[in-house]
């Protein structure tokens, strides 16, 4: 849906003076600055039960991300321990960052119920842009965006995750699976 900015707003004479509005804006910014700077004092003295500061003390405190959040993409692992992936390569093609590498293999009958399966499935998080295209492209509900964003490393090579590292039990992804089913149904896929 296109969104148009209304540029024909009629300002009052007070707003047209310009400077009072600038001063008002700076006042709001300064108030937030000082609340953040000294807001812990009443909390420490016991006058307040909660800190009025919005800053999260990461990593001691963790943020609960909304279900729509796109963290690192992971591979869904079926109850038999195998990936739900059929190595069709659609996510690899849909990936704008070219960070997915798949080497398909014929199923010997031991892996899972599908004819094809990925012998190699790598995602390089060093170049992933967390766009979610892979999740959207997958016809098998085999790849999902998780809420995990703690993937910083000292060595870029360690950010190349293999199939074994990517596997995440379907039960842990159930909320995201339900969310995507709901979302794509709305979009009339």
Residue 142 binds to ligand SF4 (criterion: CB under 6 A): yes
Choices 31-39, 96-104, 151-159, 163-171 (CB under 6 A): range interacting with ligand SF4: 96-104
Q: Within positions 49 to 88, which residues make up the interface with ligand SF4, using CB under 6 A?
A: 73, 85-88
**CA 137, CA 86: separation in Å to the nearest integer?**
13
Residue 68 phi/psi, 5-degree rounding, is -80, -5
Where in 160-179 is the site for ligand SF4 (CB under 6 A)? Answer: none
Looking at the Cβ atoms of 37 and 127, the one nearer to ligand SF4 is 127
Burial degree of 77 (CB within 10 A; 0-12, 13-18, 19+): buried
Site for ligand SF4, residues 122 to 141, rule: CB under 6 A: 123, 128-134, 137-138, 140
Residue whose pair of structure tokens reads 């609340």 in the numeric block: 35
CB of 85 closer than 8 Å to CB of 100: no
Between 43 and 140, name the residue whose CB sits nearer to ligand SF4.
140
The least CB distance from residue 56 to ligand SF4, in Å, is 25
CA distances, 73 to each of 81, 118, 163, 175 (Å) = 18, 16, 12, 15
Query: Residue 14 Cβ, how far from ligand SF4 at the closest point, in Å?
Result: 48
| Burial class of residue 109 in the structure, from the number of CB atoms within 10 Å of its CB (0-12 exposed, 13-18 middle, 19+ buried) | exposed
Task: Between 48 and 141, name the residue whose CB sits nearer to ligand SF4.
Answer: 141
Which residues lie near ligand SF4 (CB under 6 A)? Answer: 73, 85-91, 94-97, 99-100, 102, 123, 128-134, 137-138, 140, 142-143
């Amino acid at each position: 849906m296109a969104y148009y900015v209304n540029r024909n707003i009629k300002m009052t004479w007070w707003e047209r003076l310009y400077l009072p509005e600038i001063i008002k804006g700076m006042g709001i910014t300064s108030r937030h600055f000082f609340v953040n700077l000294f807001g812990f004092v009443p909390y420490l003295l016991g006058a307040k039960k909660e800190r009025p500061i919005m800053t999260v003390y990461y990593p001691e405190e963790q943020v609960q991300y909304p279900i729509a959040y796109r963290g690192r993409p992971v591979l869904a692992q079926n109850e038999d321990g195998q990936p739900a992936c059929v190595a069709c390569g659609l996510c690899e093609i849909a990936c704008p960052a070219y960070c997915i590498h798949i080497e398909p293999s014929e199923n010997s009958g031991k892996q899972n119920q599908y004819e094809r399966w990925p012998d190699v499935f790598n995602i390089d998080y060093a170049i992933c842009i967390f766009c979610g295209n892979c999740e959207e492209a997958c016809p098998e509900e085999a790849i999902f965006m998780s809420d995990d964003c703690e993937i910083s490393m000292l060595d870029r090579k360690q950010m190349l995750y293999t199939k074994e590292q990517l596997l995440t039990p379907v039960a842990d992804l159930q909320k995201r699976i339900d969310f995507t089913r709901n979302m794509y149904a709305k979009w009339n896929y």
